Amino acid sequence: MFDTLEEIRRQLEVKEDARAEFKEVELGKHGVRSPNTEDVAGEMVAFANAEGGVIFLGVDDDGVVRGVPTDRVGDVEAWAINIASNNCDPPIRPVLRRERLAGPDGSDRLVVLAQIGRGLYVHGTSGGRHHVRVGSTKPLLQGAALARLFQERGRTFVFDEQPVPTATMDDLDREDMAAFFTTRPPRIPWQDLLRNTRVATAEDGPVERPTVAGLLAFGARPQAHLPSAFVEAAVYRGHRLTSDHLVHAESIKGQVRDQIDDSVGFVDRFMLRPARKTAGRTDYPQYDIGAVHEAVVNALAHRDYSLAGAKIRLFLFADRMELYSPGGLPNTLTIETMPYRVFTRNQLLVSFLSRTTSRRTGRAYLESRGEGVRGILEASEEHAGRRPEYELFGEELRLTIWAQPSPHEGRAR
């Protein structure tokens, strides 16, 4: 980055942007007086949390080269390394280099370039602040935005294990939990059991609160505190998403298991079943309901619950079913590799679903690992004669399952 003097000069002309930050350096008797240590640490972590960048030490905000005294350049470099090592968590390793650039009077002045690479992890300052570089700014990362960055960088921040700040232990259904934890040793108090299984936590303070997964699995009314955690379902008798063709719409809420069973029931209730009568009646349902069940389970289990305002959308059209799930794919997964690789965004929620029995199927919601997507594709293609399609639109994944043609069209399988 900025490998030539010409690139550096062009950057000084266009001023600060997503990959360049200018800092004028003021020296005191025993070290660097300005800029502020926390501010520089914030710039470093912002670049590391984005795509990397360079801090120009000895250049003011207008791109004017003020320089660093030649006999004090070692002090400036030591100061920068100290900030990267002790004021950034995890520590950052900048690449420092010296360049001589023309000052306002035309004379050459020494500038230190601190290059920061894209971090493998999420970095914060010693003051506990997480920034990311956006244009020439370094906004503070909090809440869902910070959670998504941790998910992308593969560290230990797991959103479904975080406490729901507005919920209390009274928002959990005790009967549902008792039915789930049937093998609980009688000597273990409920509070300890729920904490150990991450149904609840006190990580955000002294008050015990349900986690996201705990509320989704055992909440009396999960949407009271997670308002986007539901399925919006609609039926269109035409081929386009238009109110003129809307037949029925409803919001499917409740615990995750209820949303799964009710969403599959929604498809089962509204899909067409044309019949052919020869020696007896033969129905030709539009969809393989087993594949629909797997698709809905995947959507509810693996959607990104940190995306505020984003809900699962389930649409039935005359010729297809569309299922939209909030959340992009992780860096290691692609549309092409989805049938062959395993990715679990909500590990705690998945663990609860793998031990919960569906009232529709009588089996656990998640019985096999790594076969769900492949099973959806193969079963649906066998049923309808056309392979389903996964498509990614920003932070939303869409699955299209094509309907089996009517036997009266002469193409039903």
The lowest-confidence range among 208-217, 237-246, 404-413 is: 404-413
Residue 155 has pLDDT above 60, yes or no: no
Tokens at 264, concatenated? 């599959």
pLDDT at position 182? 86
153 band by pLDDT with thresholds 50, 70 and 90: confident
pLDDT digits (tens, 9 = 90+) for 220-237: 999 999 999 999 999 998
Residue 152 has pLDDT above 80, yes or no: no
Residue 151 has pLDDT above 90, yes or no: no
Domains of the chain, earliest start first: 5-141 (3.30.950.30), 158-413 (3.30.565.60)
**Residue 32, helix vs strand vs coil:** strand
> Is residue 147 a contact partner of residue 162, using CB atoms and an 8 Å limit?
yes
Residue 369 has pLDDT above 80, yes or no: no
pLDDT at position 331? 61
pLDDT at position 290? 94
Rounded Cα distance, 385 and 413, in Å: 7
Identify which has the larger pLDDT, 90 or 68. 68
pLDDT digits (tens, 9 = 90+) for 380-412: 999 999 999 999 998 899 999 999 988 766 555
Residue 278 has pLDDT above 70, yes or no: no
Residue of 335, 341, 345 whose CA lies nearest to 305: 345
pLDDT digits (tens, 9 = 90+) for 323-354: 999 988 876 688 998 888 777 789 899 999 99
Rounded Cα distance, 235 and 252, in Å: 13
Tell me phi and psi for residue 352, to 5 degrees: -65, -45
Q: In angstroms, how far is CA 192 from the centroid of its own chain? A: 30
Over the chain, what is the mean pLDDT? 90
Residue 277 has pLDDT above 70, yes or no: no
User: Is 0.75 surpassed by the pTM of this model?
Assistant: no
pLDDT at position 370? 44
pLDDT at position 349? 95
Q: By percentage, how much of the chain surpasses pLDDT 90?
A: 69
